[in-house]
Amino acid sequence: MRPAVIDPKNTTRAAAFELWMDAPNPMVTFFKTLDVTPLVRLSRRRGLKFNMLLCFCIGRAASGIKEFYTLPVGRELLHYDSIAVNTIVKNKTGEVSSCDVPFSDDLAQFDADYLRLTRAAAESCENHDLPDCMVIGTSAIVDTELDGAVGMNSGIFNNPFLIWGRYRRGLFRTTLPLSFQFHHTQMDGAHAGRFLQRLQEGIFDLEKPAAGAGTGRSCPHA
């Protein structure tokens, strides 16, 4: 279903829309170091891609926060029924393609969609876009460790965006610093903080039995 244009005055984002839509820099960036030890263990034990697992946890954390279903686009506030997680794919030419993966709170389904769509993007060298979903952008810079990164404030891509580098192995745990950028019209710091806390909790919960099945709103499969 296509996103609907909504009147900001009829939402909890009315004041934020007035304050931040015309601000010179309405994007806010938070930094957090995650404990990703469970993802590394699960990746090895079940032969799953680490990046897929992290994208799944990002989608699941976001799906439980209503602010992720609205997005300022141009001078309008759009409401979406579902979300997707974007990943950057190295294609067969050695360049990169963008791939939106519909979020499903069933891990097996999300994994199947992730593998199918990223392989197709890598082979075709074409982007896979899901305009009917509120897309969470991600970028994994796996060639090096990163302490943090700040995304562009282009005024074009207002979507939430996460950036991370190579994870860091310690004696007892593996950590991953990342940055989370969001448009202040879409959410406040409290919502962003709740998302990051849900993300960490979801990573820990993923190892629990039946953790890969849930009831959150999913994006229609592409």
Domain 27-205 sits in CATH at 3.30.559.10
**In the structure encoding, which two tokens stand for residue 85, read together?**
């997680």
Query: What ranges in 64-188 are assigned the alpha helix state H?
Result: 107-124
Q: Give the rounded percent of residues in the chain with a pLDDT score beyond 70.
A: 94
DSSP structural state of residue 2: P
Q: CA 216 to CA 87: how far, in whole Å?
A: 21
Q: Are 65 and 191 in contact (CB under 8 A)?
A: yes
**In the structure encoding, which two tokens stand for residue 181, read together?**
């950028």
What are the residues whose beta carbons fall under 8 Å from the beta carbon of 173, sequence distance 6 or more? 35, 37
Q: Is the pLDDT of residue 85 over 70?
A: yes
pLDDT in tens, 160-189: 999 999 999 999 999 999 999 999 999 999
Residue showing tokens 């404030």? 153
Q: CA 162 to CA 64: how far, in whole Å?
A: 17
User: Mean pLDDT over residues 23-48, rounded?
Assistant: 96
